Amino acid sequence: MADKLNAVKGMNDILPPESARWEALEQTVRELMGRYAYRNIRTPIVEPTALFVRGTGQTTDIVEKEMYSFEDRLNGEQLTLRPENTPGVARAAIEHNLTYDGGKRLWYTGPMFRHERPQRGRYRQFYQLGAEALGFSGPEVDAELMLLAHDLFQTLGLRNIRVELNSLGVPAERQAHRAALITHFRQNADLLDADAQRRLESNPLRILDTKNPAMQPLVEAAPRLLDYLGDASRRHLEVVQSLLTACGVAWTINPRLVRGLDYYSHTVFEFITSELGAQGTLCGGGRYDGLFEVLGGKPTPAVGWGMGMERVLELLKEQAGVTALPVPDAYAVIPDAVALAHAMPVLQHLRAAGVSVQMHAGTLDGFGSFKSQFKKADASGAANALIFGADELARGEVTVKALREGGTQTSRLLSEVATWATTLQSSAPYI
């Protein structure tokens, strides 16, 4: 036998029946996005490496150590498996001049790739759901996006998710704060860990994002960017706060929330749960008014968020317990090849009428005993068995046997499939 091949470490197969939970989540998302008038966008999984170096930022964790980058063997292009999709969406918007006639509201889902240490809620291939509003400068769109994420969690029935909010102001405000920050950290240079020492000059704001507990007191005592905001930045934040409050969303200010990416300005936020251990951030986002210019586009205000779908599903499992999984409406029992030729067209009619049917599968030599077929019918979870026996077929009929409720049997005319098909159809094929 040949050697067995396995999935790449940190990259997961999503198998049935688990995949049904993903489909249900995606369905909920699609409906909700439609209600907020956000439109779906699908961009490539592979992008030029420069897109993330410039967009995500040279001194971010993602670009410094997490990207799957490679050279195209055939033409030498430097490419990267996308670690996030905001730069890809911005690139597409610039390339196709999407905002020429006004703002655009977009959403996406798909796999992202980061070379991190795999653990619960942290994988090397993971799925993000994201929403981006391009071409809007007003704080009401920041609030709308946060309401959208909040609404999704509500719709899914999730609880105990807190909303943390901060403002990163505009570049001039960040410059002033940066100087104060460097002074503060220099005065305490002996307390800085290696990561922080490296970032002191390149990106001191990022030090506030540290996960090292030993650094916390120093970070707590650091100058707050909030205290460096001018009037306009302060007003922007206040409008977001008051709209959230008006819509019944509780929030708290976290002055140390800086987010891991370089492109943010004004509003930044996270939706966090304490129920998933260290991987508790479900959704993170903010305003990124500077990104389009960095990528060679016209100045375009924009705001968005990304959400980790594995973490959302994990929390759903924690809080909602086991969910019902899809089963077929009917299982077709097939005695022999003659019956098969009659049965298959009927199954096609049933499917066209919206009935979910699982057909018994045999070999070229036969289909097995009724007993073994009924065992499989039971295991499939179907509510009904359709029995295409020789006697029934001779009368132009099929027997419908209820597998769950007392085993009642009914004869149905094959010529009238359309009239009884709907009696087989369950109202909720999915969770």
Instruction: Enumerate binding residues for ligand ATP (CB under 6 A).
Output: 84, 114, 116, 121-123, 126, 128, 260, 279, 281-284, 306-308, 310-311
Find the radius of gyration of the CA atoms of the chain: 28
- Shortest Cβ 130–ligand ATP spacing (Å): 8
- What is the dihedral angle through the alpha carbons of 178, 184, 190, 195, rounded to the nearest 10 degrees? -20
CA distance 382 to 326: 9
- Shortest Cβ 205–ligand ATP spacing (Å): 14
- Shortest Cβ 60–ligand ATP spacing (Å): 9
Burial class (CB in 10 A: 0-12, 13-18, 19+), 170: middle
Smaller CB separation from ligand ATP, 48 or 260: 260
- Shortest Cβ 307–ligand ATP spacing (Å): 6
Contact 225, 134 (CB under 8 A): no
Give the residue at shortest CB distance from ligand ATP. Answer: 308
CA distance 138 to 117: 38
Closest CA to 327 of 406, 426, 243: 426
Smaller CB separation from ligand ATP, 96 or 211: 211
Smaller CB separation from ligand ATP, 163 or 334: 163
Smaller CB separation from ligand ATP, 9 or 186: 9
- Shortest Cβ 66–ligand ATP spacing (Å): 8
Contact 268, 209 (CB under 8 A): no
Smaller CB separation from ligand ATP, 83 or 328: 83
Smaller CB separation from ligand ATP, 4 or 117: 117
Neighbours of 420 (CB within 10 A): 16
- Shortest Cβ 198–ligand ATP spacing (Å): 18
**Residue position matching structure tokens 């009924």:** 374
Contact 261, 64 (CB under 8 A): no
Smaller CB separation from ligand ATP, 165 or 357: 165
**Which strand (E) or helix (H) includes residue 165?**
strand 161-167
Query: What is the torsional sign of CA 27, 30, 33, 34?
Result: negative
Smaller CB separation from ligand ATP, 261 or 343: 261
CA distance 90 to 165: 23
- Shortest Cβ 280–ligand ATP spacing (Å): 8
Smaller CB separation from ligand ATP, 312 or 330: 312
- Shortest Cβ 295–ligand ATP spacing (Å): 18
- Concatenate the DSSP letters of all residues of 303-325 into one string: EEEEEEHHHHHHHHHHHH-SPP-
- Shortest Cβ 132–ligand ATP spacing (Å): 13
3-state SS of 415-429? HHHHHHHHHHCCCCC
- Cis bond upstream, residue 328 (ω within 30): no
Q: Which residues, 6+ apart, have CB-to-CB distance to 373 below 8 Å?
A: 333, 334, 360, 367
